[in-house]
């Protein structure tokens, strides 16, 4: 006979993660703490299912306000700026350069790029995104907007580049674009 499992007093993980990702570093702990407290009360009074429903609904309805707060704090603008300067512009510039190189071939050629050129794209993105990246220590939560902006910038650059890019290149490029958001020369200070 199975023992009846006691429901854990734990807000739904995905909703909690979304909440932490949406709220900026200064607000995340407070917002999550308040919601967890209310979640606990509701859990005791109306049971786990109702408390979870309430929690998810609270996260969904706070999302626009949290995002707007983050936008006003300049955090998202900074992330977009860093992604544009560190990922999008370098990739677009390199695409223009490769187009020029290929169009100078006396008997012309197609738009399939040499693997060395694709590798150069990845290295250039790593360097540029490091050069324009945030210099303060960052937590995974803080890195969220940077990662999303870098991924969108890389995807956009692939989209506007001529020719089809190999899947392996796209994966490496996306990883490189996002990598810098997690890394900082001063990260050690976090400890």
Q: Name the residues that contact other proteins, by CB under 8 A.
A: 97-111, 114, 124, 127-128, 131-132, 135, 162-163
Alpha-carbon span 169 to 166, nearest angstrom: 5
- Residue with Cβ nearer other proteins (34 or 112): 112
Minimum Å distance from CB 103 to other proteins? 4
- Residue with Cβ nearer other proteins (43 or 102): 102
Minimum Å distance from CB 173 to other proteins? 18
Calculated CA dihedral for residues 59, 41, 29, 76, nearest 10 degrees: 10
- Residue with Cβ nearer other proteins (50 or 97): 97
Minimum Å distance from CB 185 to other proteins? 10
Which secondary structure element, helix H or strand E, spans residue 154, and what is its range? helix 140-160
- Residue with Cβ nearer other proteins (54 or 124): 124
**What is the DSSP-derived secondary structure letter of residue 78?**
H
SS (H, E, C) 30-73: HHHHHHHHHHHHHHHHHCHHHHHHHHHHHHHHHHHHHHHHHHHC
Q: Provide the 10 A C-beta neighbour count for residue 50.
A: 12
Minimum Å distance from CB 89 to other proteins? 10
């Amino acid at each position: 006979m199975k023992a009846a499992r006691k429901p854990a007093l734990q807000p739904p993980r995905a909703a909690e993660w979304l909440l932490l990702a949406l709220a900026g570093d200064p607000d995340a702990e407070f917002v999550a703490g308040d919601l967890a407290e209310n979640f606990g009360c509701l859990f005791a009074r109306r049971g786990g299912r109702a408390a979870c429903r309430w929690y998810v609904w609270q996260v969904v309805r706070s999302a626009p306000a949290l995002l707007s707060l983050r936008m006003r704090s300049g955090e998202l603008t900074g992330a977009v700026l860093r992604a544009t300067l560190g990922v999008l512009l370098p990739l677009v510039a390199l695409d223009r350069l490769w187009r020029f190189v290929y169009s100078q071939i006396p008997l012309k050629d197609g738009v399939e790029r040499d693997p060395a050129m694709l590798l150069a794209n990845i290295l250039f993105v790593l360097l540029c995104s490091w050069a324009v990246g945030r210099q303060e220590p960052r937590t995974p939560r803080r890195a969220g907007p940077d990662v999303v902006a870098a991924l969108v910038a890389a995807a956009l650059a692939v989209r506007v580049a001529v020719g089809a890019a190999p899947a392996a290149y796209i994966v490496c490029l996306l990883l490189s674009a996002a990598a810098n958001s997690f890394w900082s020369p001063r990260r050690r200070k976090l400890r």
